[in-house]
Structure 1
Amino acid sequence: MILPMNRIIDIPINQKIHKISWIFLISWLGMLITINCANSEEQIAKPISGETFFHGNFDLDMHVGKPVLINFWFPSCPPCRAEMPDLQIAFEKYGEDVAFIGIQQMGSDSEKMGIEFIRELGLTYPVMADFGSKVQANYEILSFPTTVFLRKDHSISRVWTGIIDEQQLNQELDAILGI
């Protein structure tokens, strides 16, 4: 039997839904694979160099083969102030094996305020001012405090946004040391 050309072929609704479901599923799986591949690449830390307040020059390249903790903060930030004693304790415990650098964001606070803050809290790890917010921009820091943990090869292990306490610091530092 020959059907006229102008006849519309009617596909049952169940077949349409089944076909659309398969298209959606394949698209969704493709998107997941793309996202996972993008996230599986290790991100290497951007360069950091500059004069610290009390410890001379800091250059990330001077610490090749050593894990690094980078803490972004500013003096008038209450959460930054709250975590600083725990960062100091971590530095005293891990400072031989992990390089520490504090990066003061230079916005509403001055360099002088940063120096006074460091003295007031008795911080002994290196801290530098981020004039022009170059380091902050390179690391895409949007909130404070933020702590970045680098493995020995300076790939980024973890970016911790918000207050980090002593126990969390120990856990992250042990992880980058492979303990």
Structure 2
Amino acid sequence: MKKILFAAMLALLLALPGSASAQGPLQPLDKAGLASLLSANKGKALMINFFATWCPPCRQEIPSIVKMSKKFAGKVAFVGIAVDDARTQPQVQPFVKKMGMDYPVYAVTGDLVETFQVKSVPFNVFYDTKGKVQLAGSGVLEDEDFEQVLNSLLK
């Protein structure tokens, strides 16, 4: 019985998303991790934001994402994925803190870039409450458009 309880607790801890405030390098998010993330947020909409610290449009959009993450807390899960390379990766944690990104942030993996065909950043992917992609694309969303998209995911 103790082994089962220990295994269940370990599985739960491993399934929890990485934290933007954790010390050290960001945890990578791959297809398997995305599937776990979708499962863990079943019944909620999900927004994934691919960004880079060196990207001016990303720096423009992230305050809106932070604002919406607070407004839609409990209804929509927000995840950041940093596409920074090895040269700029050390800047990601300070950037996340400075921007007030209080949602999970991961390092990019090639399979996610390929899955969503990310060609430029910012790139956003929106899942509805059933776990289906409803919108994916690059470019900065303004607050009004952002809110409209998020509301549509909850219907």
Q: TM-score range by the shorter chain?
A: 0.7 to 0.9
- Higher-Rg structure is 1
Residue deviations 1:102-145 (CA, integer Å, cap 9, x gap)? 11113265332111111111221111111x43322222111110
After superposition, the CA RMSD in angstroms is 2.3
The answer to whether 1:100 aligns with 2:78 is yes
Q: Report the counterpart of residue 86 of structure 1 in structure 2.
A: 64
Given the two structures, how large is their TM-score scaled by the length of structure 1?
0.65
Q: Report the counterpart of residue 51 of structure 1 in structure 2.
A: 18
Structure 1: gaps of 5 or more residues: 1-48
Q: Distance in 2 between matches of 1:90 and 1:77?
A: 20
Q: Report the counterpart of residue 88 of structure 2 in structure 1.
A: 110
Q: Structure 1 residues 137, 50: closer, same or farther in 2, change over 3 A? A: farther
Partners of 2:123 and 2:138 within 8 A in 1: yes
Residue deviations 1:26-46 (CA, integer Å, cap 9, x gap)? xxxxxxxxxxxxxxxxxxxxx
Partners of 1:104 and 1:127 within 8 A in 2: yes
Q: Structure 1 residues 111, 67: closer, same or farther in 2, change over 3 A? A: same
Partners of 1:106 and 1:133 within 8 A in 2: no
Q: Distance in 2 between matches of 1:105 and 1:96?
A: 26
Greater RCO, 1 or 2 (C-alpha within 8 Å, sep 6+)? 2
Q: Report the counterpart of residue 11 of structure 1 in structure 2.
A: none
Partners of 1:52 and 1:129 within 8 A in 2: no
Identity percentage of aligned residues: 26
Q: Distance in 2 between matches of 1:139 and 1:108?
A: 22
Query: Pick from 144, 150, 156: which aligns with 2:127?
Result: 150
Partners of 1:68 and 1:100 within 8 A in 2: yes
The answer to whether 1:175 aligns with 2:152 is yes
**Number of matched pairs:** 129
The answer to whether 1:137 aligns with 2:114 is yes
Partners of 1:147 and 1:161 within 8 A in 2: yes
Q: Structure 1 residues 72, 63: closer, same or farther in 2, change over 3 A? A: same
